[in-house]
Amino acid sequence: MSRSTVRPTAGTAEARSAGVLVALAVAGLTCLVFLPALGGGFLPWDDESNLVANRAWRGLGPSQLGWMLTSFHKGHWIPVTWLSFAFDHVIWGMDPRGYHLTNVLIHGANAGLVCLLVMRLLEAGRGVEGAARLAGGAAAALAFALHPLRVESVAWVTERRDVLSAFFFLLAALAYLRAVREEPIWRSRWSWLALGAFALSLGSKSMAVSLPVMLVILDAYPLARTSGGAWRARLIEKAPFALLSLLAAAIAMIAVRSGGSASSLADLGVAQRLAISSYSVVFYLWKTLVPLGLSPLYELPLDLDAGSPVYRLSVTVVAAITAAALALRRRWPWLLAAWAAYLVMLLPVVGIAHNGPQIAADRYTYLPCLPWAILFGGLVSVLWRRAWSIAVTALVLGCLSWLTVGQVRVWHDAETLWTHALATVPSAIAHSSFGVTLDERGWPDEAIAHFQQALRVNPRLAHAENNWGIALAKQGRWEEAARHYEAALRIDSRYAEAHANLALALGRLGRYADAERHLEQARAIVLSRTR
């Protein structure tokens, strides 16, 4: 009597259990690699102003919750992220290790969710089952989670908004995938769950606004839900997601303008914005393939020439990849889907609506580069039976882990951060920030040398003038300090800290009326930006 062996498919309880176990293993390994982040502290770069000096978020009372919901602190509306910090404060107080631990755990959870998501996509797109499905999901998740480009979002406490927003984004995507394959009686419940998770993602960071378009891309490939003229139905079902996106985008625009760091068209013209956009698209793709020379800051050039060769080349590369993806869309639909997803998720931060001193930032790749990790997982699922493919995959993931551990060390403290920045991509802001670190260490002369270098690179860096003044004030050189504060205010008349510092210097010099005037100006600026 013969016996038949039935291989468990992706829908069986056994296969689901195996998938969950693999996802848990991926999450655990990710947390292990990022464990050194727990040794870091709060950084003076945003952690100080967001968490240490700012007490408004500390607690779960009505006043704190009201502030979280209505605040545009430093140009961001992130109530869910603030709430997560408040829970951290209840548990850990102001011990930075607890905040780093939360970031690492959320990132580990994201790795597990990516693993589950990729296994579902492999099953839907190519009918991949069994060990190939598990191998592809694990490889994609680890390529995503262990990549050194993820370090900035995980090891920098302020960027909790990245990992938390991604957590709910991935939950929303998984709930959507479940909804589209359920019977109608259950479909609406999963759809509502997806919508709720999306709302929490937007409340963590508005960059998640791309989800509705991402779901349409998934409908086209790999779900194949758009055949036979089904586009209209697919678009209509995304309407609630689109409305949430529009609302979040409007709030984000108000928040950015209130923060005062958005670049106007006078600062950056249309041609320059398009140049930055093309450059960043190519830059992130290149750094995904070759993650070397990563820096905490890639400063925007002072006088950006949109016609320079590097920007022309970037435009050419973007156009060439787009043309190739369109030309090959029937033969390789996965290429067009991945490229479209990459561009759509990058759109909020690609430079068209520019904000901040950077031309690019590692943190902006957290979700946008996920499509490339998924393609890597798909390749592994095809080749996993070949011994050499397992060795190559292990080598790639091992190298990424090694680079990531090294990059985590960069974010340990201000000195390691800015020393690395100056060694990789020197900039005016890096010089000024490192000068602050040196001054706090008690080396004012060395600090002033860096402030001078910062101003040689960028004569309009108010930050450097103000910090130079602080270094002089600590030595009792109030007249000289006042001159540098005044120079900072000539560059930026709404620089509240420079007004306050100048008020102190003028008071020491006996010019009390002038000191009072600048103190009032500082107070008015702070109140105008605080909600």
Question: What DSSP assignment string belongs to 371-425?
Answer: HHHHHHHHHHHHHTTSHHHHHHHHHHHHHHHHHHHHHHHHTSSHHHHHHHHHHHS
Q: Please determine, for residue 360, whether its predicted confidence score (pLDDT) is greater than 60.
A: yes
pTM of the model: 0.93
The whole-number pLDDT of residue 529 equals 65
Query: In the chain, what are the domain boundaries?
Result: 14-415, 427-528
The whole-number pLDDT of residue 265 equals 61
Q: Residue 91: pLDDT band by 50, 70, 90 thresholds?
A: very high
- Please state whether the peptide bond connecting residue 222 to the residue before it is cis, i.e. omega within 30 degrees of 0: yes
Mean pLDDT score, 304-313: 91
Distance CA 416, CA 363 (A): 18
Q: How would you class 323 by CB atoms within 10 Å of its CB: exposed for 0-12, middle for 13-18, buried for 19 or more?
A: exposed
| CA 142, 215, 213, 339 torsion-angle sign | positive
Q: Residue 11: pLDDT band by 50, 70, 90 thresholds?
A: low
The label of the residue with tokens 């779901």 reads 215
Architecture of the domain whose range is 427-528: Alpha Horseshoe (1.25)
pLDDT > 70 in the chain, percent: 95
Q: Residue 264: pLDDT band by 50, 70, 90 thresholds?
A: low
Count of residues for the chain? Answer: 531
| 364 within 8 A of 349, measured Cβ to Cβ | yes
Distances 31 to 110, 170, 203, 516 between C-alpha atoms, Å: 11, 18, 25, 51
Alpha helices per DSSP H over 413-461: 414-424, 428-440, 444-457
Report the range of poorest mean pLDDT among 221-235, 241-255, 282-296, 430-444.
Answer: 221-235
Averaged pLDDT of the chain: 92
Helix (H, G, I), strand (E, B) or coil at 310: helix
Q: Please determine, for residue 6, whether its predicted confidence score (pLDDT) is greater than 70.
A: no
Mean pLDDT score, 19-29: 97
Greater confidence (11 vs 419) lies with 419
Hey, what amino acid is at 495? Y
